[in-house]
């Protein structure tokens, strides 16, 4: 499962995933549709099967909010609102965060290949990304911007004190 040659292992793997992927191999579930697997579904389900949409609807019914890492502050504001918390309840420190400059961006081609390889996860993400932005819209764009700015200000204050 993990024997990929070359310097750019991700690009090499995505060039021909089935050459490297053994669905029965040790920890094979880490290599395809991991989100789907983590939610308790078969990560090898045919992406075109109607059951995929049912699984996504099931997850949607189970969770009131799916937070998006790339919109972490906005996600926290929605969580605060959902749980009737105060701003102080969502303040946080960034610890052990990778610097943005060390994260390599995928080329359009690699992004497309990764999406095709992880199509179940891509469908799940698309659904919850759209759901997230509907929740932001319902919350109010101006209100969200104000609350995110306030969260950032309070986080900075806390960082200077601690």
Q: Please indicate, yes or no, if residue 83 is contained in any of the structural domains.
A: yes
Q: Please indicate, yes or no, if residue 3 is contained in any of the structural domains.
A: no
Q: Please indicate, yes or no, if residue 123 is contained in any of the structural domains.
A: yes
Domain that holds residue 26: 9-161
What is the pTM assigned to this prediction? 0.87
Q: Please indicate, yes or no, if residue 2 is contained in any of the structural domains.
A: no
56 touches 65 (CB < 8 A): no
For the chain, the domain total comes to 1
pLDDT reported for residue 107? 92
pLDDT in tens, 35-81: 999 999 999 999 999 999 999 999 999 999 999 999 999 999 999 99
Does the pLDDT at position 97 exceed 60? yes
C-alpha–C-alpha distance, residues 135 and 78, integer Å: 8
Q: Please indicate, yes or no, if residue 148 is contained in any of the structural domains.
A: yes
Q: Please indicate, yes or no, if residue 28 is contained in any of the structural domains.
A: yes
Q: Please indicate, yes or no, if residue 69 is contained in any of the structural domains.
A: yes
Question: Exposed, middle or buried, 152 (CB in 10 Å: 0-12/13-18/19+)?
Answer: exposed
Does the pLDDT at position 153 exceed 80? yes
* Beta-carbon contacts of residue 20 (< 8 Å; ≥ 6 apart): 1, 3, 4, 13
Q: Please indicate, yes or no, if residue 153 is contained in any of the structural domains.
A: yes
C-alpha–C-alpha distance, residues 143 and 97, integer Å: 28
């Amino acid at each position: 499962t993990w024997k990929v040659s070359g310097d750019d292992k991700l690009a090499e793997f995505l060039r021909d995933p089935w050459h490297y992927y053994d669905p029965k191999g040790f920890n094979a579930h880490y290599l395809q549709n991991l989100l789907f697997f983590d939610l308790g579904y078969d990560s090898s389900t045919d992406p075109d099967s109607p059951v995929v949409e049912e699984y996504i609807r099931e997850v949607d019914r189970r969770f009131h909010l799916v937070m998006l890492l790339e919109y972490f502050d906005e996600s926290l504001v929605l969580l605060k609102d959902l749980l009737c918390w105060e701003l102080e309840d969502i303040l946080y420190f960034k610890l052990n965060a990778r610097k943005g400059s060390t994260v390599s961006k995928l080329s359009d081609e690699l992004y497309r290949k990764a999406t095709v390889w992880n199509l179940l996860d891509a469908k799940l993400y698309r659904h919850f990304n759209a759901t997230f932005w509907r929740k932001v819209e319902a919350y109010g764009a101006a209100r969200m911007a104000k609350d995110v700015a306030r969260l950032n200000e309070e986080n900075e204050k806390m960082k200077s004190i601690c």
